[in-house]
Amino acid sequence: MSSILRRTIASSLRAAPRLRPAATGSVARPMLAPARFQSTFKAEDQPRIRIGSVAPNFKAITTEGEIDFHEFIGDSWTILFSHPADFTPVCTTELGAFSVLKEEFAKRNAKLIGLSADSLESHQAWLKDIEDTQTAGKKFDFPIIADFDRKVSFLYDMVDEEGFKKLNQGIAFTIRNVFIIDPSKKVRLFLVYPASTGRNTAEVLRVLDALQLTDRSGLVTPVNWTDGQDVIIPPSVSNADASAKYGEFKELKPYLRFTKQPAK
């Protein structure tokens, strides 16, 4: 992010709590406690998260009560996605959009859990604004972690380089990550966005479909694939095995073979 954009965003966030009640008519946001950023993090204590590593467990306060993250995951896929701060415009649209799609995720045995680096009281006030403006009156009904001390943000390395150096001081960029975690608690995919760029909910559903398809069938997905389109037979499968397992396939090159997506 350019330093000009960074400064603009940081100063608008600093100004926001004072402007917010008059500007939106929403419930007044509780003032940010200055102590919020005073905990200390050490880079060497941060776990290295890779695709395939076990998602670090944590306990946290959420808008739906206290959770142990691994217990929360249970036997479901889980989408953990994070936000830099409450009462911010991009995050407001994102949380609303995920909430509207909750049933789509549930059809895929996937739970949603948000995180924002603010307090529980602040989250509860903010949820009213999200329901007012984004969900067409539908109740917002998945938990948001109150990561006011940024413990989970630190655990999952959700900040950029500059934000990491200043994690104990003020606004930390980016904290706009998506982690897809499977029922065995393994991290299967993560996406990281700068604070200035809203995510794409269709992409999150698309990659979840792709991961689940591969787990079910051993097939892999080409560029821009969406559910229902032809899929790829991986090179590790011989032609004989491919015929036996997937039926007809089209060979463009020995290593590039397409077949119909099998029925679910």
Nearer of residues 196 and 243 to ligand BEZ, judged by Cβ: 196
Out of 49, 55, 80, 91, the active site residue is 91
Which of 112, 127, 130, 195: binder of ligand BEZ (CB under 6 A)? 195
Question: Which among 84-92, 205-213, 215-223, 256-264 is the span making contact with ligand BEZ, rule CB under 6 A?
Answer: 84-92
106/135 Cα distance (integer angstroms) = 17
User: Which stretches within the chain are classed as H helix?
Assistant: 3-24, 69-73, 89-100, 102-107, 120-133, 151-155, 161-165, 201-217, 239-246
88 binds ligand BEZ (CB under 6 A): yes
Segment contacting ligand BEZ by CB under 6 A, of 39-47, 85-93, 185-193, 229-237: 85-93
Tokens matching residue 51: 């695709």
Whether 156 contacts 56, CB under 8 Å: yes
What is the nearest approach in angstroms of ligand BEZ to the Cβ of residue 97?
Answer: 13
Query: To the nearest whole angstrom, how small is the minimum distance from the Cβ of residue 243 to ligand BEZ?
Result: 50
Please state, in angstroms and rounded to a whole number, the distance separating the CA atoms of residues 113 and 79.
Answer: 6
Beta-sheet pairing, 110-116 with 77-83: parallel
Total residue count of the chain as it appears in this document: 264
Tell me how far, at minimum, the Cβ of 113 lies from ligand BEZ, in Å.
18
Report 5-24 residues binding ligand BEZ (CB under 6 A): 9, 13
Distance in angstroms (rounded) separating the CA atoms of residues 94 and 92: 6
144 binds ligand BEZ (CB under 6 A): no
Alpha-carbon gap, residue 72 to 78, rounded angstroms = 9
Nearer to ligand BEZ, 114 or 246 (CB): 114
> Measuring CA to CA, how many Å separate 193 from each of 40, 79, 173, 190, 200?
24, 15, 10, 10, 10
Strand duo 144-146 + 110-116: pairing: parallel
Q: Evaluate whether 231 touches 225 at the Cβ level (below 8 Å).
A: yes
Q: Which residue among 27, 90, 207, 237 contacts ligand BEZ (CB under 6 A)? A: 90
Nearer to ligand BEZ, 82 or 259 (CB): 82
Q: Does 89 bind ligand BEZ (CB under 6 A)?
A: yes
CB of 160 to ligand BEZ, least distance (A): 12
Q: Are 106 and 67 in contact (CB under 8 A)?
A: no
Q: Is 178 in the site for ligand BEZ (CB under 6 A)?
A: no
91 among known catalytic residues? yes
Give the range of 54-62, 82-90, 107-115, 201-209 binding ligand BEZ by CB under 6 A: 82-90
**Counting contacts by CB under 6 A, is residue 1 touching ligand BEZ?**
no
C-alpha dihedral sign at 257, 218, 102, 21: negative
**Tokens representing 192?**
């990281």
Restricted to residues 196-215, the positions that interact with ligand BEZ (CB under 6 A) are 196
Q: Which amino acid is at 50?
A: R
Q: Is 61 in the site for ligand BEZ (CB under 6 A)?
A: no
Q: Active-site residue numbers?
A: 91
**Site residues for ligand BEZ per CB under 6 A:** 9, 13, 84-85, 88-91, 195-196
